[in-house]
Structure 1
């Protein structure tokens, strides 16, 4: 999903940016941290759209349940959703 987050508007990127005190403890060049967890989870909307289009198949690897999916079509759903209504996708509209 992070591959297309260049399409995130600054209003959303700003929400995820940690405060200066956190960045002092965890410098950007050494750590990747986020400081916000949206109330509505964008992945769930994309996941449902991918299921609806038949992109995701539930399966198992050993005993672990997993979602098997073609990456490019699912990532494209995310980009399209960001371009259409990023603020709504993140519950900010």
Structure 2
């Protein structure tokens, strides 16, 4: 993703595909950070560096998952904007079919 965003490749790649892959990569990284932090909590030796690493791991995983939630919310709002509203014609019930 970093290569795509920081190079001219970004102009050649479809923006929708980049956004979609960023969506799933963010979810994956958040889950991996959370899993690694949980495993590290159960195996650490109570040193200050390890506690700092645990705090960083949980903060990073929650930020990745929060970013994923924001992207999911925006994606849902975007899809709701695209749906046309269903309009019901009341006069269609009273008009004859051959008119």
- TM-score range (shorter-chain normalised) is under 0.3
Greater fraction of residues in helix: 2
The TM-score with structure 2 as length reference comes to 0.21
- Report which of the two structures shows the higher radius of gyration computed on alpha carbons: 2
- Structure with higher strand content: 1
